[in-house]
Structure 1
Amino acid sequence: MVGAPPADVRDRVATTGIPAVERLPQSLGDVAVPLRAVSADDMMADVEVLFRAPSCAALAVQGDGAAPVGLLTRHRFTAAMTGRLGYGRAVLTRRPVGQIADWSPLVLDAATTVVDAARAAMARAAGVRHDDVLVPGPSWSAASTADLVSALTAAVSQRAARDPLTGVLSRPHLMATAARWAAEALPGTRRRLLLAAVDVVRMEDINATHGLDAGDALLRELASRVASAAPSGAVTARLDGDAFAVLVLLPAVPEERAQEIVGTVRDRLRGACATLGAGVRVATTASTAGWADATLLLLEVERDLRTARTAGTAPHAAPLQARR
Structure 2
Amino acid sequence: MHDELTELAQHTAMRPPARASGAVADLARPVLSVGSAMPVGQLEVVFRDPDVACVVVHDDAVPPPGAPAPRTGVVVRASLVAALTGRLGYGRAVLERRPVASVTDWAPLVVAPTAAVTEVATLAMSRPDDHRYDDVLVRGGHWASVGAAELVRSLVGTLAERSTHDPLTGLLSRRSTWHSLTRRCRLVAHGGTRVVLLLLDVRDMAGINAVHGQDAGDAVLAGVGRSLRSWLPGGCEAGRVDGDRFAVLATLPAMGDVEAAASAEALRHEVLARLGAPDGPARPTFRTSLTWSVAGAADADELVREGEARLATTPTPPNTTWVPLSVG
TM range (shorter): 0.7 to 0.9
Q: Determine the structure 1 residue equivalent to 2:323.
A: 316
Give the superposition deviation at 1:167: 4.9
2:178 to 175, 187, 193: 175
Which residue number in structure 2 is paired with residue 236 of structure 1? 238
**Is the 2:37–2:60 contact (alpha carbons within 8 Å) kept by the matching residues of 1?**
no
Q: Which moved more, 1:208-217 or 1:54-63?
A: 208-217
- Other-structure match for 1:38: 34
Alignment correspondent of 1:127: 130
Amino acid at match of 1:194: V
| 1:263-321 residue CA offsets vs partner (Å, 9 max, x unmatched) | 222344456678998874322222344564544432332233234259xx9753333xx
Q: SS of the residue aligned with 2:26?
A: helix
Change (3 A) 1:100 1:244: same
Q: Deviations over 1:133-168 (max 9, x none)?
A: 222334321122332333344344444544455554
- In structure 2, relative to structure 1, the CA distance for the partners of 1:179 and 1:105 (3 Å cut) is same
Tell me the residue number matched to 2:148. Answer: 145
Contact in 1 for aligned 2:292/2:325 (Cα 8 Å): no
Which residue in 1 is equivalent to 2:3? Answer: none
State the secondary structure of the residue aligned to 1:29: helix
User: Is the alpha carbon distance of 1:76 and 1:292 closer, same or farther for their aligned partners in structure 2, counting shifts above 3 Å?
Assistant: farther
1:230 positional shift: 5.0
Distance change >3 Å, CA 98–CA 289, structure 1 → 2: farther
1:1-324 superposed matches below 5 A = 23-26=20-23, 28-65=24-61, 66=63, 67-182=70-185, 186=188, 188-200=190-202, 203=204, 206=207, 210=211, 213=214, 231-269=233-271, 280-289=286-295, 292-308=298-314, 315-319=322-326, 322-323=327-328
Q: Which runs of 5+ in 1 are unaligned?
A: 1-20
Shift of 1:196: 0.6
Q: Note if contact 1:60-1:69 (Cα within 8 Å) is conserved in structure 2.
A: yes
Q: Displacement of 1:71 after TM fit?
A: 0.8
Larger RCO (alpha carbons 8 Å, 6+ apart): 1
- Contact 2:169–2:221 under 8 Å retained in 1: yes
User: % of aligned pairs identical?
Assistant: 35
> SS of the counterpart of 2:73?
strand
Q: Contact conserved, 2:35 with 2:60, CA < 8 A, in 1?
A: no
TM-score, scaled relative to structure 2: 0.71
- Supply the RMSD in Å over aligned alpha carbons: 3.8
Rounded Cα–Cα distance in structure 2 between residues aligned with 1:70 and 1:283: 62
Matched residue SS, 2:114:
coil
Give the AA of the match of 1:129.
R
Structure 1's 63 and 289: CA in aligned 2 closer, same or farther, altered over 3 A?
Answer: farther
Partner of 2:8: none
Moved more, 50-59 or 227-236: 227-236
